[in-house]
Amino acid sequence: MVVLILCNGLAGTVVQEMLGDMKTMSKNVGTHKKRELYWQAYSKLASLGGSFGESKVYGFLTYRLAEGDDDAENGKAAFIECTKRQRGLLTSVEILGKKFKQEDAESKNEWFACYVDGAAQEAMEDITNGEPVVYLSQDQDAVFVGTKLKRKKCRSAPTQPLKSMADFEAFKETLLPENPLVSISWTGNDPVKLNGYNFILAGKFAKSITDDPSVSHIATTSVDEIYEYFLKQRNEHFVIEAEKLIAVMLAEVNKNEPNPICNVTVKLAGVARQNGLLKKVYVDSSKKKFIEAVLADGSGVEMFIIQNAPETSQFMTFGGIVFELHYRADLNMFI
């Protein structure tokens, strides 16, 4: 994806005009090839926006090149319309970052956000599928549910700053799904539930709390840094959980169990997937073909994608994948 536009309620003619301005500004991009690429992208996206006329646009406008194709003229512009629920989400959730608005417009809630190159695909993934983190910021007087690009304030911080681990634990127990942890899911109502890695303290807190190793804390309120820290916490948690499955497998192998309930290798995981035996899998992000196949199946397999796992970890030593079956089976008989 070269360009992604998230549009919230601007008229098509306005989108066309604003993208026309961005097209003109793209003349200042450094290389001729890049200038041509953006010129084509904004030209086709502006034309697509104009096709809506005076109707308001809610959704994604995308401009893509086919994989391996670098001819800008071959790029395709497309529109992905928001559902009624997604329109409501755009009005109730804060979309972070720069937003473009019509000058002198009566409504300040009509805008579009623009993402280009690598940031375009990342933004699409974040907005539509990003896992939310819950963070408490006393500096901002808020508990937020959010991803890198979208967030919602669920409640205010405690009236009195937390001073002890007892205060911390008592407050944490009040953070329940839907009360106050709402859903910011793009695809359906999915209220957040606290787990072993998704609650973070952000900013200044009592040293008696932040010194406790069980507390996840980052001394900033930067959303980018908070979310990066969350992803690191999640990765570490996934590696620990993956190695628990490896321990189960090794224990069963040591007991001479011929068909362990957990196993490793992409080949056997693929066999389990193809035969409806795959229940849960932890997989390194480099196994792209396998990951894409599981996602394409839509079979409800619990898949946890791990990025940047330590090469010395047991998880990576065993090949960067471990999975659990629904029930014991001799996978070799399916090969």
Look up residue 186 and give its DSSP letter. Answer: S
Q: What pLDDT is attached to residue 332?
A: 87
- Whole-angstrom Cα distance, residue 258 to residue 253? 7
CATH architecture for residues 3-129: 2-Layer Sandwich (3.30)
**Distances 273 to 21, 98, 263, 309 between C-alpha atoms, Å:** 49, 42, 13, 23
- Sites in the chain below the pLDDT cut of 50: none
> Which tokens is 283 given?
């997989």
- The residue behind tokens 């450094």 is 30
Q: What pLDDT is attached to residue 49?
A: 96
Q: What pLDDT is attached to residue 96?
A: 95
- Whole-angstrom Cα distance, residue 324 to residue 252? 13
Taking the domains of the chain in order of start, what are their residue ranges?
3-129, 133-221, 234-334
Composition of the chain by helix, strand, coil, percent to 5: 40, 25, 35
- Whole-angstrom Cα distance, residue 335 to residue 330? 10
Question: Can you give the pTM of this predicted structure?
Answer: 0.89
- The residue behind tokens 């990342």 is 122
How buried is 121 (Cβ within 10 angstroms: 0-12 exposed, 13-18 middle, 19+ buried)? middle
Peptide bond into 191 cis (omega under 30): no
Residue 123 sits at φ, ψ, to 5 deg, of -65, -40
CATH architecture for residues 234-334: 2-Layer Sandwich (3.30)
The CA dihedral of 131, 41, 79, 228, to the nearest 10 degrees, is: 0
Q: What pLDDT is attached to residue 60?
A: 98
Q: What pLDDT is attached to residue 72?
A: 81
Look up residue 157 and give its DSSP letter. Answer: P
